[in-house]
Structure 1
């Protein structure tokens, strides 16, 4: 009887850890991927086959949630860019967005900028995404999942939120991060990575 109880408690603990950490893959990512595991982002502080210095975005064209055209040149606006990949269906993603908004507002944009990448939205003006951004005060730039981004980035992501950092040329800095973090944890990570791109 005790073994059954212990097993049930362990299973429930694992379920809660996954539920609180992040959400499963996205429709856009599944459509863009080939079905294999190559390059998938793993939980913890690793991004699978992605390495620091790799330019995973390359040249791309996309639109912001508000309909503005964006290319890879957006990364040149700041020394360090935090790209938070999130989904409108993902509770942990939405829960961390108020903190991400505060972090974004606390830095000079030439030193650090934040970009949201909405994994499950492919059209500009999506009302659910706009409502989430407004209600969480995550008032930084949010990109929708263009075909370029689906193919080059989202096909490599297996959980949201996933966060990566890039320098002004779009090269990845440090590791990828799967799952949400506290404001304090993100601030510490950002400060460490800012010292790498100075």
Structure 2
């Protein structure tokens, strides 16, 4: 399992995502420091990298906000909540959360679940560490009321375990017969609450083609953006960069991440190795730290954290601060971190977008695939 972190309001929501991710939260140094930095890379374990994400947050502030209608094109669901359930969500008596998984080969969604849970006063006010299993423990402590989900036929037998419920009502299935939709309730929960879940109105439509992103994402409007555009930015150490950063490489891997994203930080260790390995192939890595820019102003705290991450992980590739246009709009609307895409030497956005963290072996295969894609188009 690897991890992906989904943005939700002001905080982050972790979701089990069998890509290996949430499965859920994506500088040049002087030569005199090269040896010391190599030692840092060797000494820091991936399991320790998350120590760089400090502090706590309140999980109740990361729940899904109430609204009359939700649209989820990748699972073919339109959802309308009853007013009583929305009211309880607004009062933070009920927490609405999501969970999802992929098939092992990442070819399709395995399951995607919306779930509603009773939240006590102490759970509402609880704070947990951004690192570790505090958040997942908090979720597991909530009493499940009910769920609405879509399940691949391969996982139907596991529906009790996946939902935390034992009573299930089939409400539809996909045209190809591969997916089944269920409303489920926990009989041990308050009947008034489970009745509210059963009042949820659902409209099922054709599922949008899977883009290896979160099942709860919206359709990718960024696909229309073909070029990264012109820009003039600095990295977290103050060095300036323009779109010319791409000119000397056949392919540049742009890794978009945030300083609070544990999975992102762990991945940097492998990205640094990849960056060094691929130099001869004219492939390089560039990091973009999204939370270093806040409402068009630089966030000094995030920049300082990014500096520490760069130094502690031994990253020699730049960590860029986005410009106010978010690189021609390419960074707009990103819902999950880390996210990685590729740019050719002319600034054209090429190949696929990859959400979630990956290991070194996986990245090697992905880079080879993207290089081959460029070669075939010539």
**CA positional deviation for 1:109:** 6.2
How does the TM-score come out when normalised to structure 2?
Answer: 0.40
- How far the C-alpha of 1:113 sits from its partner, in A, is 0.9
Q: Greater share of strand residues, 1 or 2?
A: 2
Normalising by structure 1, what TM-score?
0.74
Would the alpha carbon gap of residues 22 and 151 (structure 1) be closer, same or farther in structure 2, given more than 3 Å must change? farther
Q: Compared with structure 1, are the counterparts of its residues 59 and 78 closer, same or farther at alpha carbon in structure 2 (3 Å cutoff)?
A: same
Give the drift of 1:167: 0.5
Q: Deviations over 1:127-183 (max 9, x none)?
A: 211111111122211101221326622213121100000100111121111111111
| 1:21 Cα deviation after fit | 4.0
The whole-number CA distance in structure 2 between the counterparts of 1:184 and 1:72 is 29
> What displacement does 1:110 show?
6.7
SS of match in other structure, 1:88: coil
Summarize the alignment of residues 66-81 of structure 1 with structure 2, pairs less than 5 Å apart. Answer: 66-81=237-252
Q: Superposed, which structure 2 residues align to 1:100-179 within 5 Å?
A: 100-108=271-279, 111-122=282-293, 123=298, 126-149=303-326, 152-179=329-356
How many residue pairs were aligned?
169
Go from structure 1 to structure 2 and tell me whether the alpha carbon gap of 1:150 and 1:76 turns closer, same or farther (over 3 Å shift): closer
Of Structure 1 and Structure 2, the greater helix share is in 1
The answer (yes or no) to whether the contact 2:233–2:240 under 8 Å persists in 1 is: yes
Question: Deviation of residue 75 (structure 1)?
Answer: 0.9
Query: How big is each residue's C-alpha offset from its partner over 1:17-56, in whole Å with a ceiling of 9 and x where there is no partner?
Result: 38634529xxxxxxxxxxxx9xxx8617x9824449811x
Q: Which runs of 5+ in 1 are unaligned?
A: 1-13, 25-36
Structure with bigger RCO (C-alpha 8 Å, 6+ apart): 1
Aligned partner of 1:20 in structure 2 is 22
Flag structure 2 segments of 5+ consecutive residues without an equivalent: 1-13, 27-71, 73-210
Quick check: which has more Rg, 1 or 2? 2
1:91 aligns with 2:91: no
Give the aligned partner of residue 43 of structure 1.
213
CA RMSD of aligned residues (A): 3.1
